[in-house]
Amino acid sequence: MSASPASVTASATAPVPPPLPETLVTVRRLNRIFDNVHAVKDISFDIARGQVVGFIGANGAGKTTTMRMMATLDVPNSGTIRIADMDVVQRPGSVRRLIGWMPDHYGTYAHMTVFEYLDFFARAYGFKREQRRTRVEEVMDFADLTVLADRPMNKLSKGMGQRLCFGRMLLPDPEFMILDEPAAGLDPKARLEFKNLVRLLAQRGKTLFISSHILSELGEMCDTLLFIDGGKMVYHGSAESLRRNHGNSANGNAQMVLDIVLAGPGDMLTQWASMNPLWSLLEERRDGARLLVESSDPLVLAAGLKKMILDGLPVIEFHREERRLEDAFVDMLRKISVDGSTRHT
């Protein structure tokens, strides 16, 4: 995907929607049950206009079910979803004019090119003649699809198909975009370009709700993270707050993680950590290790590093790591399994 300067705003002849309230999306006590499976359990949250929200959950957590209900593709058993103060069940047609939906997979058609596919959907959205061609070209340029214009859509790679689905979502210039695993199948360069596109859309006042299994990636581009586990919402807050509040030991003490490199085998650090209180091994490597320190006091860190040198460890490099979102998430789920609470920040 290419963060080209092309506008993602529909042409001036397209109808302009009215101003939207500051809180764009309101979800209250949402439940969805399939047969005997309670897929979504009483979740509630708000999304402000212009926010980029990361939606995180393992397979089967209720993530896609929630997104489908927000996209008016499924109906809750109870609870409400309001987008721009419109109930998605009572006014689905009006809501659909404001939203864009990018599923994790989509159907393909033989003997249809990338341009023809986008042109078909632009026609369905009501774009006429030159206006339609202009809009398709704008979207193709923005999503870096121009070079694929004549490619049969059923011959695209997974990553190219994701870009095409992203472009289809952009066609009506939606205010609220719901993206289910949009970066799946993208190579590292395309992932970086996708993050740049998300920033550009947010700068233009768009609101994005993005699911992914790559927590570190969401932490970089999202204002807020929303975690769902077993159908229940277990966290709603910033990435920094997650790292800070779930970076403690079981007794509530703050911790640090150090990445240490030796001029020697890494098992030397493993042995050293086993004999020193407050220090423990997280990950051993050939030339070093990641160690957990049961304190956030800089003096404790300084004393430990000094002792390593005095004990004969050939330390040549070290740095204090920012806590990984994955580690904080696992710690949060572990604490929830112990005390049964739901964490919000």
CA distances from 343 to 32, 46, 332 (A): 22, 16, 8
- Which tokens in the block code for residue 134? 């202009």
Domains of the chain by start residue, with CATH: 23-244 (3.40.50.300), 248-321 (3.30.70)
Give the per-residue pLDDT at 14: 43
Give the per-residue pLDDT at 88: 97
Residue 283 CB coordination number (10 Å):
12
Burial class (CB in 10 A: 0-12, 13-18, 19+), 203: exposed
CA 63/CA 319 separation, integer angstroms: 36
pLDDT in tens, the chain (345 residues): 554 434 444 444 444 455 545 899 999 999 999 998 999 999 999 999 999 999 988 888 899 999 999 999 999 999 999 999 999 999 999 999 999 999 988 888 889 999 999 999 999 999 998 999 999 999 999 998 999 999 999 998 888 888 899 999 999 999 999 999 888 777 788 788 888 888 889 989 999 999 987 776 677 788 899 989 889 998 888 877 776 665 544 444 567 888 999 998 888 999 999 999 899 998 888 899 999 898 878 899 999 999 999 999 999 999 887 666 666 676 677 666 666 554 444
Give the per-residue pLDDT at 104: 84
For the entire predicted model, the pTM comes to 0.74
Closest CA to 297 of 248, 255, 237, 345: 255
